[in-house]
Structure 1
Amino acid sequence: MGEVHEYDAVVIGSGAGGGTVARALSRTNARVLLLERGDWMPQERQNWDPVEVWGKDRYRSGELWLDRRGKPFQPFMHYLVGGNTKMWGSVLYRLREEDFDEVRHADGVSDAWPISYADLAPWYDRAEEMYAVHGELGADPTDPERKPFPHAPVPHEPEVEALAERLRANGHHPAPLPLGLLDPGAQGGCILCATCNSFPCLIRRKADADTCGVVPALDGDVTLWTGARVRSLETSASGDRVTQVTVERHGRIHQVRGTVVVLAAGAVNSAALLLGSANDRHPDGLANSSGLVGRRYMAHRATMMEAVHPLRAHDTVFQKTLAINDFYRPSERHPFPLGNIQSQGRVHPAQVKSVVPFLPTPAVRAWTRRGMELLAMSEDLPSPENRVTLTSSGRVQLSYTTGSSPVHGLLVKEARRMLRRAGYAGVVTHEFRNENTTHQCGTAVFGDDPRSSVLDPLCRTHDVDNLYVVDASFFPSSAAVNPGLTVIAQALRVADHLATRFGWHPDDPAPGGHTP
């Protein structure tokens, strides 16, 4: 048996959920241990090198999972302080109000949440303050009732503004994307570069869970262990409490005890850890009396679109500022919701060649200089057959298929029509399908009934009293906007609940937090 360490709270994973919980609890007198499987992202010139980041997968985990057919594939996973948020585009949407209700789609139903938008709204406010969200109140017709954004929207560059004007002239309602950036355009702030979306930030001015969660948390009574892989969760003889977390770190085994354990390793890895921690009291996996741990995996239906004008090159640098939600809600034209469209960061030739390596580099360069990149994103519906399991050797298997979706096809068709009317000669598309591990959610759904959910509305497992899950595992539905801000808001809500439940009084009663 290895060393034994005792804390009030043990947080597993330092991404949007875990990094935020750690920061929130750092304002209390709780002793917190934050466990991260990876290490700090090195600040180096390669952070902004498309060939290194995309061509050579410099920061991506080399881990291989199995798909539904048992074929190995490399997931889009980054084991780093801050988790996958180190690579996100920092689009921080609130779910729309209707996303919390049952939503009928052309090809199925997405389930209602056990909480309402109003229940989460105060923590959305705090989440936006903590992650420095920029946006414009009233610009998006689907935006829910809310306070003004903490910061003004990031201005469009000329080519993006020209597109927005053409869209308005054609009856659409383009709006600024809600973005988490630190002091964009100011001295010492975000420089609005071309390597933000899907790149780490060399100057640490992107609002990720490292910069906005972990680093401020370390000012409090929070201990961070990097290189710490959790191997299992052990319970009491009755099975109703986690008594020990087994951690492998630098070749040594450590036993960690906590009053509460907060699991935030991502929807796939959190489910895998629960399944891998089966014992006599939990023979099908920890907290799995419902049989739903690992099931209902969702990732958005997503298609990258390159709108091209062969005679018009442009030198836009920071392109990811535009959103169109005109197809998010049912309409006379489409009686069911279709989804969200948002501009993307400039695509670099190395990124294109990572998908289609046979294209000649000069042609790719010419094409990308003339393209405007956007993403069409539709809701992925929950299915118990889309699931995470473990093989007999403990390997992660992600059995996931998107099937055919008339809804997503209609959204892409509408986006094509919209972009052609806006003056682009053609639109090239690439759909992300069955190996999509971005925006992963749904593998430990929360709800009121232990028979049909894994977690309660405050993300505590129904079966194990001191175990919480605060990554996107808890989502009953995926909605059709980015999940990050909702994970952050719920993490803050859970942290407040934990402080009240265990009497961890705040050292600093001020709400929200500073941005470094």
Structure 2
Amino acid sequence: MEAYDVIIIGTGAGGGTLARYLAPSGKRILLLERGDYLPREIANWDTAEVFIDNRYISPDTWYDRAGKAFQPQVHYYVGGATKLYGAALYRLRREDFGAIQHHDGLSPAWPITYEEMEPWYTMAEQLYEVHGNRGEDPTEPPASAPYPYPALRHEPRIQQLSDDLTAAGYHPFHAPCGVRLNEADINNSICIRCARCDGFPCPLHAKSDAETLAVRPALTAPNVTMLTHAHVVRLETNPEGTAVTQVIVDHEGHEERYSAAIVAVAAGAANTAKLLLMSATDRHPRGLANGSDQVGRNYMYHLSQAVLALSREPNDTVFQKTLGLNDFYFRGPGFDYPMGNIQMIGKSAPDMYRGEKPLATKLAPSWALADVARHAVDFWLSTEDLPVPGNRVTVARDGNIILDYTPSNPTAAKQLYHQLKSMLKTMRLHEDHLIHRFAYMKSDIPIAGVAHQAGTCRMGTDPATSVLDANCKTHELDNLYVVDTSCFPSIGAVNPALTAMANALRVGDHLMHRLGATFPAAATTAPGAAR
């Protein structure tokens, strides 16, 4: 059995970023990824392959509370969910780290403050080459540095939308985007600002994903090793149940065992919970680190609504994800509770409609769908999902995930939808209706859209009501950490990726001190640099 200093399970926003931070330490690090590298191929940009044939979706089967099977929208590749995300890299608001009362419940406080996270947000923005402008969004929290790159410019129709919103008294801002415009990546490819970003892989490696900007650089260090097709199925502990001693891996169909001084799990909120539950022992009969019975509970994934409105004039925008609006993040007209975030999503196309609504579009001629797409302006509405103990992940007898979920904050989500609808005339859009899209939620079961899953192993100060401490170490095992979005006590109303990345850097710094490691001299803004 081969031994390492650190084993990291999962290579996405949490695990990949942690590996990048620890790589310069010289410590022996093993990355375990259940998938493979996502192939770079023409199909990466093929709308029909991605949205109709679900080419890059895992064939996993999960079950809802009624026992109905569904296919979750999960992606098992090096880089995890970031391979197909839209690279919208927002910070949580400062207030999100404290308790916030919502119409339908309470968003609890984190055991750390925004001020403690802020330096790591700055480092994450540098690592993931975020483009943005400070000072445009009135809800934006304070930052210790500007964005590393200027904001992406709006194309003409989106600039007009921004101008119209500003004239009406709103505060649109340039959305923070992680794309590689200014520097070539390792394959000398840069972003060409196409429409194939949100929900698509990028064959140019020009999207700021965890494979490109974290895992690949980490693997250049001789002390970092990665196994692909390595599905971690169980963790074993010492007889006292106080430390993980072996990581059991199904590697290309056969069992392998590894050990490490530190084990960090970053398999995604549902699969991280599943792994801990499947690792039950006599000392941990309800699952590893689950003396509080909180593992798998408090599942959150945002109350998201993808909608399109029809512009009175053509919308020939190519890269649409450059605008955001947070005027209703904390309250709205006639509604003194948080509503959420409005941002643009990738420009819709006819094959997306066929993939998202196959029955409704079956008889529609291609020219009609093309005309809808040309006039479409596409929005993503995100409302905070509140942690509820009954919204939880458990494991079926066949080993598949059961996801028991009921929306926890529906009133605010409805308010945000109606708020956007009331603004259509202001934005020169047809006023009669919004058209629901099912981007990221192509199944008839809404819970299949799990792109923003979080909360199943939340951190806290009380072991009776949380799984992890403030450093994301499990309360009950001395060497087991969780560094993905599972640790979130709340999810806010903006995309969680940057917070997962920043938190992984924060935990990485803690682990460096624990391991007694030091960094070689390097630029102060580089991940893993001496500060």
TM-score (norm 1): 0.96
Superposition map of 1:152-163 within 5 A? 152-163=150-161
What pairs up with 1:168-317 in 2 under 5 angstroms?
Answer: 168-183=166-181, 188-220=189-221, 221-309=223-311, 311-317=312-318
- CA shift, 1:188, in A, is 4.2
1:509, CA displacement in angstroms?
4.2
Q: What SS is found at the alignment partner of 1:409?
A: helix
Q: Is the 8 Å Cα contact of residues 134 and 179 (structure 1) preserved in structure 2?
A: yes
- C-alpha contact (below 8 Å) 2:189/2:205 kept by paired residues: no
- 1:252 offset after TM fit, Å? 1.9
Q: Secondary structure at the match of 1:253?
A: strand
The alignment status of 1:131 with 2:144, answered yes or no, reads no
Could you say what secondary structure the match of 1:365 adopts?
helix
Q: Give the whole-Å Cα distance in 2 for the aligned partners of 1:111 and 1:158.
A: 41
Greater CA drift, 449-458 or 429-438? 429-438
Distance in structure 2 (CA, Å) of the matches to 1:415 and 1:333: 14
Q: Which residue of 2 aligns with 1:362?
A: 367
In 2: Cα distance, 1:364 partner to 1:467 partner: 51
CA contact (8 A) 1:29 1:507 kept: no
Task: Please list the CA deviations of residues 155-191 of structure 1 after superposition, one character each: whole Å capped at 9, or x if unmatched.
Answer: 0000100110111111111000001111259894211
**Which residue matches 1:485?**
498
Cα distance in 1 for partners of 2:316, 2:168 equals 25
Deviation at 1:330, TM superposition (A): 2.6
Aligned residue for 1:62, secondary structure, equals: coil
1:510 correspondence with 2:512: no
The alignment-based identity, stated in percent, is 45
- Could you tell me which residue of structure 2 aligns to residue 434 of structure 1? 447
Determine if the alignment matches structure 1 residue 97 to structure 2 residue 94. yes
Contact 2:387 2:408 in 1 (8 A): no
Amino acid in structure 2 at the alignment position of 1:495 = G
Instruction: Return the alpha-carbon distance in structure 1 between the equivalents of residues 523 and 239 of structure 2.
Output: 41
Contact 2:332/2:339 (CA < 8 Å) preserved in 1? no
Task: Give the 3 Å change call, closer, same or farther, for CA 114–409 of structure 1 in structure 2.
Answer: same
Contact 1:185 1:192 in 2 (8 A): no
Change (3 A) 1:13 1:508: farther
RMSD between superposed Cα atoms in Å = 1.6
- One of 66, 69, 74 as aligned partner of 1:69: 66
* Cα shift at 1:436: 2.8
State the partner residue of 1:166: 164
- Residues of 2 paired with 1:481 and 1:82: CA distance? 20
CA contact (8 A) 1:8 1:31 kept: yes
Aligned to 2:458: 445
How far residue 319 of structure 1 moved from its aligned partner, in angstroms, is 0.6
**Using the alignment, how far apart are the partners of 2:270 and 2:154 within structure 1?**
36
Contact 2:35–2:228 (CA under 8 A) maintained in structure 1 = yes
**Which residue among 139, 142, 159 is the counterpart of 1:145?**
142
Pair 1:415 & 2:420 matched? yes
Of 422-431 and 166-175, the range deviating more from structure 2: 422-431
2:302 touches 2:385 (CA, 8 Å); kept in 1? yes
Q: Residue 399 of structure 2 aligns with which residue?
A: 394
Q: Is the 8 A contact 1:27 1:507 kept in 2?
A: yes
Number of the residue aligned with 2:470: 457
Which of 38, 41, 45 does residue 42 from structure 2 map onto? 45
Residue 424 of structure 1 pairs with residue 429 of structure 2: yes
What is the one-letter code of the residue matched to 1:12? I
Opposite residue 179 of structure 1, the aligned amino acid is C
Paired residue secondary structure (1:463): coil
Alpha-carbon offset, residue 207 of structure 1: 0.2
1:300 positional shift? 0.5
How many Å apart are 1:5 and its aligned residue?
1.4
Alignment gaps of 5+ in structure 2: none
Q: Which residue of 2 aligns with 1:15?
A: 12
1:255 match: secondary structure? strand
Distance 1:430 1:404 in 2: 20
TM-score (structure 2 length as normaliser): 0.94
Task: Compute the displacement of 1:510 (Å).
Answer: 3.4
- Contact 1:14–1:82 (8 Å) recurs in 2: yes
Secondary structure of the corresponding residue to residue 373 of structure 1:
strand
Task: Give the whole-Å Cα distance in 2 for the aligned partners of 1:294 and 1:389.
Answer: 6
Secondary structure (helix, strand or coil) at the match of 1:168 reads helix
For 1:320, the aligned partner's letter is K
Q: Partner residue of 1:498?
A: 511
